[in-house]
């Protein structure tokens, strides 16, 4: 929203300076985004008098002018078509900065003849886009006089308006807020009705499909025998200052009132409107060429202003080109209506039309001001264009948006923390246009029609506090209960925090990805069903809720690899979703490794990442979260894991605590990730919490006796899994066998050549931990026999000779 300081002072009698006003605007919630003061750029320019203007000897379009200036007579070369002797012009001397062309002029030669300055056009002074000729001043202007003495500058203020303040989209509304702050007195002129000479010959009909909601009120008036043309200079200057292009007096009047009173209007050339005016919903497929010269096709949800031939305007947004006013217009039909904000916003978004009218209607303008806006427009048209007005034709009724709320004066202190006297609250609300009635312990406050944002007592408190100024709010220490504060984190929150710290300590970088992914990626990880689809997705790449965290990490890896970063360690902690209903989610931690284990190393330490890297990391995370040390291993995870290079760590056959392994090559290809890529997922909610919670750790268990280690190599069928062998070994003597692990696998063609087709050798190391006495050779031998027997019975393997 832009306006000039002079414009504001037409509605506000104030002695406050520009800085005080801008500070108050920001403090009131209308943040000042910028102030443009033309005086700084125009200060050097002065008045000159062209004494002679002769043709340049070497250029047909240039004239050599002798000009009287503040520094005496100077020779200036000019190419403007209107450069001639006898006119008063605006002079820029060498060294002056010309804002419109971003140049500091110097003494120079043009086609061999020196020029000692420049005569300026409006564009060069950034007064308008006009550059067909230089500015011609009034003959009474004195040579050497400052341009700003003739035309004092009017600073332009630009403020940001929040969507809940449609009243601040008019200069009169801004003045009202400043007056309530105490910066002056509102002097907005009263509106006097204009008496018509005849009944309006253009009746208006509201169709039933719009009369109750889309357009409950439409007023119109015919003005005959107007004389359209350029608007007066003051009006053109005001519109130019806020970035609007003057078009004609009739159009400029509607633009002026849109900014002056936040009251959008529209003018039709009445001779181009055939028959009565009907306001109705569009018919699917109807079309209209609007004032922006673009053709729009309607789907049936739009509000249209029509005549007998069809649509003539899009209600609340833009008029049609066919019935627009031109310099030849002599009879004009003026429209002032109230259009539903929601429908206006929806129509504007669908048609992609941004206009000053839409910007105001979709925020909710004052319906009670509709007929007043008509009277203002009529008076300006009669003053500037002449004419003979008819009576106002009113179709429908003013929508009843009246409402009132009770305000407890003490509520300001309770909600905001400022003590504001009851009388001051009454004064502020009254100054803002609210109706205030004393009701004993409370104030009954009636809300004006221009404040659709006020919907309760809390909003009234906000109005009081922002006018008083929240900058006066003094900080107060919060009350604290005595003693040490209790625990606030839940056990699951603690577990989540611990997992983040542990994975980061392992060298992973944390990612925070969207909970939404595309349907194809979701389908790769068991999702993508309709019950997981978003009704209103941000984009096609975010159409479904994620069924796992790995898709987001793989997408992040693909983006990094495309930019040359292939060695990655990424992780995320967050929720994945197994349904579309509330609560159908589960908390996960997932990690992803791609590329190699480290930078290039001439000694050969660098290697591709493998599933054992993921295994070591996931075991470290499970240990940090307090998972049991002995877990069952299974290998039948979902299809996005490599079928032979992954494992599930379980408590029992159904309770999966974590999964690690290689990502399936099919998934990597689909997501454009270059392998190798391994990862893991930890299911927080599956890990059992300790039965007793406390800060005390279990006592360290140490043994006095030396452990004994023995190695065994078994010849097995190639399809026998190592985990089955380890289970048999651990079960041979659960009391003395403390640990068992695989340390070598010999398989392939060489192994089969030695041991037979379909065979392999698996080497296992066991650790025996005596408890009460040192083990004898005989006891060790008995345990070894038990181990060999258990493996043979469980897997069919035999001790390798």
CA distance 436 to 447: 9
Each residue's pLDDT tens digit, 279-331: 999 999 999 999 999 999 999 999 999 999 999 999 999 999 999 999 999 99
Tell me where in the chain the CATH 3.30.70.380 domain(s) lie.
708-799
Asked if residue 1 has pLDDT above 80, the reply is yes
What is the chain's Cα-based Rg?
41
* 672 token code pair: 């454009």
Mean pLDDT (whole number) for 543-547: 94
Asked if residue 603 has pLDDT above 80, the reply is no
Q: What is the pLDDT of residue 322?
A: 93
Q: State the pLDDT confidence band at 153, using cuts at 50, 70 and 90.
A: confident
Residue 13 CA, chain-centre distance (Å), reads 38
Each residue's pLDDT tens digit, 220-268: 999 999 999 999 988 988 898 888 889 999 999 999 999 999 999 999 9
CA atoms within 13 A on the CB side of 674: 13
Q: What is the pLDDT of residue 692?
A: 62
Buried b (16+ CB within 10 A) or exposed e, 563-584: eeeebbbbbbbbebbeeeeeee
Asked if residue 572 has pLDDT above 80, the reply is yes
Q: State the pLDDT confidence band at 755, using cuts at 50, 70 and 90.
A: confident
Cα separation of the two ends of the chain: 92
What percent of the chain shows pLDDT beyond 70?
Answer: 98
Cβ-based neighbour number of residue 368 at 10 Å: 17
Question: If you average pLDDT over every residue of the chain, what do you get?
Answer: 90
Mean pLDDT (whole number) for 399-403: 90
Residue 724 phi/psi, 5-degree rounding, is -65, -35
Each residue's pLDDT tens digit, 675-713: 899 999 999 999 998 776 556 666 777 888 889 999 999
Is the previous residue joined to 676 through a cis bond, with omega within 30 degrees of 0? yes
Q: Which CATH class is domain 2-37+155-186?
A: alpha beta
* 356 token code pair: 């000053």
According to DSSP, residue 545 is labeled E
**Which three-class secondary structure state does DSSP give residue 719?**
coil
* 101 token code pair: 């062309």
Handedness of CA 271, 275, 278, 284 (dihedral sign): negative
Fold held by 40-150: OB fold (Dihydrolipoamide Acetyltransferase, E2P) (2.40.50)
Element containing residue 751 per DSSP (H, E): helix 749-755
Which residues fall within 8 angstroms of residue 176, CB to CB, at 6 or more apart? Answer: 167, 186, 431, 432, 433
CA atoms within 13 A on the CB side of 88: 16
Q: State the pLDDT confidence band at 481, using cuts at 50, 70 and 90.
A: confident
Tell me where in the chain the CATH 3.50.40.10 domain(s) lie.
204-396
CA distance 163 to 416: 22
CA separation, residue 218 to residues 65, 278, 358, 503, 563 (Å): 59, 10, 16, 66, 59
Closest CA to 341 of 287, 399, 396: 399
Tell me where in the chain the CATH 3.30.930.10 domain(s) lie.
491-686
In the sheet with 310-314, reading across from the earlier edge strand, the strands are 204-206, 277-281, 303-307, 310-314, 318-319
Q: State the pLDDT confidence band at 463, using cuts at 50, 70 and 90.
A: very high
Tell me where in the chain the CATH 3.30.56.10 domain(s) lie.
2-37+155-186, 404-471
Under 8 Å between Cβ of 609 and 596: yes
- Number of alpha helices (DSSP H) and beta strands (DSSP E) in the chain: 22, 42
Each residue's pLDDT tens digit, 418-446: 899 999 999 999 999 999 999 889 999 99
Q: What is the pLDDT of residue 631?
A: 86
Residue 456 phi/psi, 5-degree rounding, is 170, -175
Alpha helices in 197-340 (DSSP H): 208-211, 233-241, 249-261
Please name the CATH architecture into which domain 708-799 falls: 2-Layer Sandwich (3.30)
Q: Which residue has the tokens 């253009």?
A: 202
CA distance 543 to 549: 16
Asked if residue 520 has pLDDT above 90, the reply is yes
Under 8 Å between Cβ of 775 and 708: yes
| CATH code assigned to 491-686 | 3.30.930.10
Q: What is the pLDDT of residue 394?
A: 94
Closest CA to 427 of 467, 400, 483: 467
Helices 18-27 + 171-181 axis angle, to 10: 90
Tell me where in the chain the CATH 2.40.50.140 domain(s) lie.
40-150
Q: Which residue has the tokens 């031939």?
A: 309
Fold held by 404-471: Phenylalanyl-tRNA Synthetase; Chain B, domain 1 (3.30.56)
Superfamily of domain 204-396: Phenylalanyl-trna Synthetase, Chain B, domain 3 (3.50.40.10)
DSSP 356-393: HHHHHHTT---GGGHHHHHHHHHHHHHHHH--EE-PPE
Which residues fall within 8 angstroms of residue 7, CB to CB, at 6 or more apart? Answer: 154, 171, 238, 260
CA distance 741 to 726: 7
Long-range contacts of 538-541 (CB under 8 A, 24+ apart): 541/517
């Amino acid at each position: 929203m832009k306006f000039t300081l002079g414009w504001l002072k037409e509605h506000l009698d104030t002695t406050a300076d520009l800085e005080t006003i801008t500070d108050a605007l920001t403090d009131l919630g209308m943040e000042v985004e910028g102030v443009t003061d033309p005086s700084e750029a125009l200060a050097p320019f002065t008045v000159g008098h062209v004494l002679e203007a002769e043709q340049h000897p070497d250029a047909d379009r240039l004239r050599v002018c002798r000009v009287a200036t503040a520094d005496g007579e100077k020779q200036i070369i000019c190419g403007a078509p209107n450069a001639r002797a006898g006119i008063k012009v605006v002079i820029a001397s060498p060294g002056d900065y010309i804002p419109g062309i971003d140049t500091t002029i110097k003494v120079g030669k043009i086609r061999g003849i020196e020029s000692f300055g420049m005569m300026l056009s409006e564009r060069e002074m950034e007064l308008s886009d006009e550059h067909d000729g230089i500015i011609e001043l009034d003959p009474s202007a004195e040579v050497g006089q400052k341009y700003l003495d003739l035309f004092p500058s009017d600073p332009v203020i630009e403020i940001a308006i929040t969507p809940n303040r449609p009243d601040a989209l008019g200069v009169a509304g801004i003045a009202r807020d400043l007056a309530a702050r105490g910066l002056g007195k509102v002097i907005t002129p009263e509106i006097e009705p204009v008496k018509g000479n005849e009944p309006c010959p253009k009746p208006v009909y509201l169709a039933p499909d719009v009369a109750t909601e889309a357009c409950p009120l439409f007023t119109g008036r015919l003005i005959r025998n107007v004389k359209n043309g350029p608007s007066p200079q003051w009006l053109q200057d005001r519109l130019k200052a806020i970035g609007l292009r003057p078009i004609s007096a009739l159009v400029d009047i509607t633009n002026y009132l849109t900014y002056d009173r936040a009251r959008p209007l529209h003018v039709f050339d009445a001779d181009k409107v055939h028959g009565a005016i009907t306001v109705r919903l569009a018919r699917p497929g109807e079309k209209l060429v609007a004032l922006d010269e673009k053709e729009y096709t309607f789907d049936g949800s739009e509000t249209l202003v029509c005549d007998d031939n069809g649509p003539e305007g899009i209600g609340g947004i833009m008029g049609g080109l066919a019935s627009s006013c031109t310099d030849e217009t002599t009879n004009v039909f003026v429209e002032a209506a109230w259009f539903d904000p929601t429908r206006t916003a929806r129509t504007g978004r669908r048609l992609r039309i941004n206009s000053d009218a839409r910007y105001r209607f979709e925020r909710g303008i004052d319906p009670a001001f509709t007929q007043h806006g008509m009277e203002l427009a009529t008076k300006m048209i009669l003053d500037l264009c002449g004419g003979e007005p008819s009576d106002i034709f009113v179709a429908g009724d003013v929508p009843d948006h009246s409402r009132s709320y009770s305000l407890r004066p003490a509520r300001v202190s309770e909600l905001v923390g400022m003590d504001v006297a009851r009388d001051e609250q009454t004064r502020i609300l009254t100054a803002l246009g609210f109706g205030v009635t004393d009701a004993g312990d409370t104030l009954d406050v009636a809300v004006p029609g221009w404040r659709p944002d006020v919907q309760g007592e809390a909003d009234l408190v906000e109005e009081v506090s922002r006018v008083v100024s929240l900058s006066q709010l003094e900080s107060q220490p919060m009350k604290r209960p005595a003693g040490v504060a209790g625990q606030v984190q839940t056990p699951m929150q603690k577990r989540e925090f611990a997992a983040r710290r542990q994975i980061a300590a392992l060298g992973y970088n944390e990612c925070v990805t969207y909970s939404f992914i595309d349907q194809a990626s979701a389908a790769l990880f068991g999702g993508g069903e309709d019950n997981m689809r978003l009704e209103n997705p941000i984009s096609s790449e975010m159409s479904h809720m994620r069924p796992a965290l790995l898709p987001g990490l793989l997408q992040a890896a693909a983006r990094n690899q495309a930019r040359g970063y292939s060695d990655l360690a990424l992780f995320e902690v967050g929720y994945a979703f197994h349904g579309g209903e509330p609560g159908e989610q589960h908390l996960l931690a997932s990690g992803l490794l791609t590329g190699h284990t480290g930078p290039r190393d001439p000694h050969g330490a660098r290697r591709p990442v493998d599933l054992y890297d993921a295994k070591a990391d996931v075991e470290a995370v499970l240990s940090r979260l307090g998972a049991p040390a002995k877990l069952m291993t299974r290998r039948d995870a979902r299809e996005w894991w490599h079928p032979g290079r992954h494992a599930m760590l379980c408590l029992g056959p159904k309770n999966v605590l974590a999964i690690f392994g290689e990502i399936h090559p099919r998934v990597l290809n689909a997501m454009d990730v270059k392998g190798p890529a391994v990862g893991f997922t930890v299911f927080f909610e599956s890990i059992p919490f300790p039965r007793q919670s406390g800060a005390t750790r279990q006592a360290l268990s140490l043994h006095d006796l030396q452990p004994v280690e023995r190695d065994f190599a078994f010849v097995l069928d190639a399809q026998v899994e190592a985990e089955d062998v380890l289970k048999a070994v651990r079960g041979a003597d659960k009391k003395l066998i403390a640990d068992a692990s695989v340390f070598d696998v010999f398989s392939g063609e060489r192994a089969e050549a030695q041991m037979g087709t379909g065979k392999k050798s698996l080497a296992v190391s066991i650790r025996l931990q005596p408890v009460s006495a040192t083990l004898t050779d005989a006891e060790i031998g008995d345990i070894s026999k038990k181990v060999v027997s258990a493996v043979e019975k469980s897997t069919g393997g035999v001790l390798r000779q």
